Amino acid sequence: MTAERNYIVGTTTDFVGGLGSGSFYALYPSIDLRSIGAHSALGANYAFGLNRQYADTKSHVASVTFSRSSNRWRLNLSGSVQMTPDFTTFNVLRGIAFDPQGGFRYLFDPVAIRRSSRISSTSVGADYVLSRKSTVSVSGSYSQRQYRHQPLLTGRLSDQYRLSGSVAYAREQSQRSSLGLEYTSTYYHFNQFGIARSHAINIEYSHRFDPTVNLRAHVGPSYTQIGAKEKYFSYNASLSLEKLVQSNTFLVTYSRSGGESTGYGYLSETDQVRIGANRRLSGRTSALLEITAFDSRDKTTNKYKTRGTAVSGTITRTLNERLSVNVGAQLYSYGNVSVFGFSQEQLFFSLKFREPKLLRFSK
């Protein structure tokens, strides 16, 4: 007998107004599908954006995820497409928090020219439980970024794609800690600049101090080859600390990449810091704070240096099961990027209408 599968369709609409260099308004409707079975789960989401701050006023973001598990295997698939001039603001105005497990993303958006780029991503991962303490994981991902053909972009922003694969082994050292080893190989293709390859080996460590506090870290050497002649050794590293108490979360992360694409120029060494906090202030009121900063230095011509900072804070007041109001502020800038230098400060107010269970059915 086939197990029953449950389906839930929900919708959300954000009506946004604000003040920055001038007044603006925006509209963000979205639809969400969730399907849960005995051993698998499927999710799909589409969000549309209409924001008059940009030359390309319309945004489209769609994503699909699928997972399936058995006694020893777990399979994860995901895919997404986004067309928007400013993905960071697209999420901030909708009250969407950064997902630290979201995988690779381009750090730079050419917000200054107010034009959309297209990013397509696909990933697949499989975990196999060797024993009660040991797991082997294999994963692969593909990301592509396409800019509109404009003379302003030549020599700075290139259409590109990135293909990456990894294999990892992890073993529990105790009830609270685990140690692992991962190898990753990545291939890059830039239409304007050429190709590049990188290889990295990371030692991974995680520790749970108590049920609410987790630490994760990795460090290891990397080797990057740019074109036929440029080669160099560097290292990758990351350190994250997360505290979760009921609905309150706090996360701080530092990461360093020895050779990666940011979306601007060619491959770069990049340092990045993220701080995120979500706290319930009362039964109906919550606050969200996010801070991100990165510094990137390219390894070829030394002309693609860039820095970026994004700070946002939102206070949400739930009025009833379907309606909430949000008040927030955003500070956002890019530096050292010639014509793409950008700075934005804005205050915003939004009304969010949710129908999380518009349709429910089983098959």
Tell me: the pLDDT tens digits for 123-168? 999 999 999 999 999 999 999 998 876 666 676 788 899 999 999 9
Average pLDDT for 260-287: 89
Q: How confident is the model at residue 170 (pLDDT cuts 50, 70, 90)?
A: very high
More confident residue, 226 or 137: 137
Average pLDDT for 15-44: 92
More confident residue, 313 or 363: 313
User: Cα 272 to chain center, whole Å?
Assistant: 13
pLDDT at 47 over 90: yes
CA angle 201–204–208, rounded 5-degree value: 175
Give how far Cα 113 sits from Cα of 151, 152, 290, 363, Å: 12, 9, 24, 48
pLDDT at 194 over 70: yes
Q: What is the pLDDT of residue 254?
A: 95
Q: How confident is the model at residue 101 (pLDDT cuts 50, 70, 90)?
A: confident
Average pLDDT for 225-234: 87
If we measure between CA atoms, which residue out of 154, 150, 235 comes closest to residue 200?
Answer: 235
Rounded distance between C-alpha atoms, residue 100 and residue 102, angstroms: 6
First to last CA, the chain: 12
Coil, helix or strand at residue 287? strand
Coil, helix or strand at residue 179? strand
Average pLDDT for 348-362: 93
Percent pLDDT > 70 in the chain is 95
If we measure between CA atoms, which residue out of 100, 95, 86, 87 comes closest to residue 276?
Answer: 100
Q: What is the pLDDT of residue 3?
A: 66
Q: What is the pLDDT of residue 302?
A: 62
More confident residue, 188 or 103: 188
Q: Does domain 6-244+319-328+341-362 have CATH number 2.60.40?
A: no
Residues 6+ apart with CB under 8 A from 170: 134, 135, 137, 178, 179, 180, 204
pLDDT at 1 over 70: no
* Average pLDDT value for the chain: 90
Average pLDDT for 210-238: 92
Residue spans of the domains in the chain: they are 6-244+319-328+341-362
Average pLDDT for 330-354: 85
Judged by average pLDDT, the poorest of 103-112, 156-165, 274-283 is: 103-112
pLDDT at 80 over 70: yes
Q: How confident is the model at residue 71 (pLDDT cuts 50, 70, 90)?
A: confident
